[in-house]
Chains A and B, each alone.
Chain A
Amino acid sequence: QVHLVQSGAEVRKPGASVKVSCKASGYTFTSYYLHWVRQTPGQGLEWMGIMNPSGGSTSYAQKFQGRVTMTRDTSTSTVYMELSSLRSEDTAVYYCATVIVATPVWGQGTLVTVSS
């Protein structure tokens, strides 16, 4: 069974960085792209970017260019999303997700709170 398990909630001060992990299991990690999506409080869903776990290539939404970095560790089937220069507006739940046989699969979400 396909699972994406994310790291736990984080609290950061404005200006800091946060790194969220997403561990994949139940499928061939390098065969399917991995996406990151966030949801700010009371708002809708916002796509942040995509990573190819095979070669490590990435593509980021323009809004996050320069602040987001996606990396992976193929030995542990884990993808990481690091967001820097945090501001209060980055307080959100961050999700990793993939698509396998045309079916989306999501992680459980990681709450990141940015507060002084």
Chain B
Amino acid sequence: EIVLTQSPGTLSLSPGERATLSCRASQSVSSSYLAWYQQKPGQAPRLLIYGASSRATGIPDRFSGSGSGTDFTLTISRLEPEDFAVYYCQQYGRSSWTFGQGTKVEIK
């Protein structure tokens, strides 16, 4: 099983600042099958990035994904008030999926 470790656990930032979230895999992940999600309380996860770097439909361009192999990054270039939420990475390249434990982006 591929274990995904996200860091940091919590990121305290102000609106307008840049957020950098990390997702590290225990073994190589096909870049075609690495996704990032945003989740707010009481809501389903919202797909932001798939294939490591492709933005999902309707996702603003302040969200970007990068990385390959075992190290992946989600960057939010300038935080908007609606971006404060929990973010998860996911590998879906194998028959069994795994998720990171999440990074909470909170208002400083």
Residue positions of A touching B, CB distance < 8 A: 33, 35, 37, 44-47, 50, 59, 61, 93, 95, 99, 102-104, 106, 108-109
Does A106 contact B90, Cβ atoms closer than 8 Å?
no
Sample of 17 A–B contacts (CB below 8 Å): A33-B95, A37-B97, A44-B88, A45-B99, A47-B96, A47-B97, A47-B99, A50-B96, A93-B44, A102-B32, A102-B50, A102-B51, A103-B47, A103-B51, A104-B47, A104-B50, A108-B44
Q: Mark B72-85, 1 if CB is under 8 A from A, else 0.
A: 00000000000000
Does B44 contact A109, Cβ atoms closer than 8 Å?
yes
Chain B positions within 8 Å of A61 at CB level: 96
Compute the total of residue contacts between A and B using a CB distance below 8 Å: 45
Chain A positions within 8 Å of B95 at CB level: 33, 50, 59
Instruction: Rank and list the top 8 A-B pairs by shortest CB-CB distance, nearest first.
Output: A45-B99, A47-B97, A109-B44, A103-B50, A102-B32, A44-B101, A102-B51, A44-B102
Taking A44-B88, A103-B50, A109-B44 as given, write out 13 further A-B residue pairs in contact, using a Cβ cutoff of 8 Å, ordered by the A residue number.
A33-B95, A37-B97, A37-B99, A44-B102, A46-B99, A47-B99, A50-B96, A59-B95, A59-B96, A95-B44, A104-B47, A104-B50, A106-B45
Chain B positions within 8 Å of A109 at CB level: 44
Chain A positions within 8 Å of B99 at CB level: 37, 44-47
Does A45 contact B88, Cβ atoms closer than 8 Å?
yes
Residue total for B at the interface (Cβ-Cβ under 8 A): 20
From residue 87 to 108 of chain B, which have CB atoms closer than 8 A to chain A? 88, 90, 92, 95-102
Chain B positions within 8 Å of A106 at CB level: 44-45, 47
Chain B positions within 8 Å of A37 at CB level: 97, 99
Which of chain B's residues has its CB closest to A52's CB? B95
Min CB gap A61→B, angstroms = 7
Which of chain A's residues has its CB closest to B30's CB? A102
CA distance A45 to B6 in the complex (A): 13
CA distance A20 to B51 in the complex (A): 29
Q: Mark B33-63, 1 if CB is under 8 A from A, else 0.
A: 1010000000011010011000010000000
